[in-house]
Structure 1
Amino acid sequence: MELPRQIVVGEKNIGQVGEFLRSLSNPRKVSIISGKNVKKIIGKEIGQSLKNAKISAVWHLARSNEVKETITIQKKVKSTKSDIIIGLGGGRSVDIAKLCAFNLRKQFVSIPTSASHDGIASPFVSVRGEKPHSLVATAPLGVFVDLDIIKKAPKKLLASGCGDLMAKVTAVHDWELGRDKVGEYYGRYSANLASMSAEILIESAENFSKKGIDVRVIVEALISAGVASCIAGSSRPCSG
């Protein structure tokens, strides 16, 4: 069972990412896989934080999550001999970093800039080849979230995250069906954790309508769902 060692969810704390990495494993060099726009918006602040922590960084820009692109980036990351591989951005960058870390046997840190799915804390990745498919990679050593950045992401991404959480209801029932019909392994704890992630959102819906969306609730629920898949050792509690 591989679980995140440290999870930080804060507000306007992106400038503390260097300290966070130091507390995790004291790296000398990191590779940051990100998108062009994300680097443009927060790259300077992250770079300064890493510099203050005496951590050198190499940036790798991801254009897609296709297999060819992942292989190209992986070769570049390998040549840097980085201690940690960071996925900074949305699903594409986080997934590529996760897969590269797994293949290169390096530590992986997730720094999401949107809350669109539970992959920010799970060991699973989605890649595109001839057909899209999901692979098991590595769970993040740490997850670092700046809620201020998440709030500035397009609203449709947050809506996607809510949809992903709601899907846990049917995913868990689907898993129960597999247990009852074909004798598949069923992990009650991880199933309950995934279900709770959806229940938290459902219970918060009325409050959201009155006081506005609490992004922290959604982010923490997505992280919990990702951890549920780590505990289960499969994507069953989150994807059925």
Structure 2
Amino acid sequence: MNRKLVIGDIHGGLKALKQVLERADVTQNDTLIFLGDYVDGWSESPEVLDFLIVLNQQQKCHFIRGNHDDLLLNYLKTNTYKEEWFLHGGRSTVEGYEAIDSTTKQIHVNFLEALEPYYLDDKNRLFIHAGFTNLKGIEFEFFKPLFYWDRTLWEMALALDENIPFNSDLYPSRLKLYKEIYIGHTPTTKINQTIPINKACVWNIDTGAAFTGPLTILDVDSKEFWQSESLVDLYTNENGRN
């Protein structure tokens, strides 16, 4: 098999990542697209990055930048952080790095600096952590951090009246640009779902692994997906971002 597989937000859950890759029977022939937010939440954020760095040497991977990854990069480079980060899973990450040596930290900095802002494949399918706001698309986005902070793309897709024809002037321009858009960032648990959700051309693959949901991997061609156990069951003595 030569599948193209997209993986949702991991948030320090190495156990879930290993489990979902095994359940999807991932091989070195598969291309893996990670949508970002590898850290913050569960206790194994440094170990997740170690795992991904090795995985990248074994098969073709695309690693998209998430907002939490950017927060970690700033911390590793400056040794400073804003207290608000701790309200969003940063505490477990800082604690996890207390036992990490400086050489490994620099390897992680190199990995985080090399993260892709997005990936656009040869079928005009966009993979991005959060979204974009420019009506002409990603190449015209003025403020690039919106790629990993925006929530308006998903909110628009959720709120779109399904009765509006695609060719109508009322149909949102951003939803006409790409065949499909795969995002994470805003967990589907916010709408009481723990599976990937498709609205218009947008597929949300963040199924709440940071909180009470599972981690998800999806075949972008067949739309078959596999999930880990809920992370609260895999990390029974931890709270994640709950």
TM-score > 0.5 by shorter chain: no
- Return the structure number with greater relative CO, CA threshold 8 A, min gap 6: 2
Normalised by the length of structure 2, the TM-score is 0.29
Higher strand content, 1 or 2: 1
